[in-house]
Amino acid sequence: MAVERTLTILKPDCVRKNLIGEVTRRIQEAGFKVVAMKMTRLTKDTAGGFYAVHKGKPFYDELTDFMSSGPCVPMILEKENAISDFRKLIGATNPADADEGTVRKDFADSVGENIVHGSDSVENGKIEAAYFFAESEVVANLA
């Protein structure tokens, strides 16, 4: 299986609930290597840019309000089959549909406030990673 990268964001609800450590522990225990990580706060505009694909959808305004409501922790994660394995680890977008033992099932309150983001493809992962990280901030690229 190919080694892939996925971009995750520990969302503002994850940070507010003091779950950065617990969610990161689950990510690492599942075999993902953290190759880039920071804490930042999106503005309504930068959240809108990240989620530009959802512009025009009924939840876009709510989503960009929420994502800019407090600090978040984006990370680039590396692992064989990372895209699919990460989506299994976090569970369905709507926590009501998420499997038992997944991050969203255990911690998310709603489809909008769902603790964590994960890229849906290798290609989008690359675009999303570049939204948050310069090449020089990715550990594999550091001397």
Binding site for ligand CMP (CB under 6 A): 54, 59, 62-63, 93, 111-112, 114, 117
CB nearer to ligand CMP: give 42 or 63. Answer: 63
Instruction: State the minimum distance, in angstroms, from the CB of residue 81 to ligand CMP.
Output: 18
Q: Residues 66, 64, 15, 42: is their CA dihedral positive or negative?
A: negative
CB nearer to ligand CMP: give 69 or 114. Answer: 114
Instruction: State the minimum distance, in angstroms, from the CB of residue 108 to ligand CMP.
Output: 9
Instruction: State the minimum distance, in angstroms, from the CB of residue 136 to ligand CMP.
Output: 26
Cα dihedral: 1, 24, 39, 3 (round 10): -10
CB nearer to ligand CMP: give 31 or 112. Answer: 112
- Among residues 4, 9, 22, 33, which one has the least CA distance to residue 117? 9
Residues that are catalytic: 117
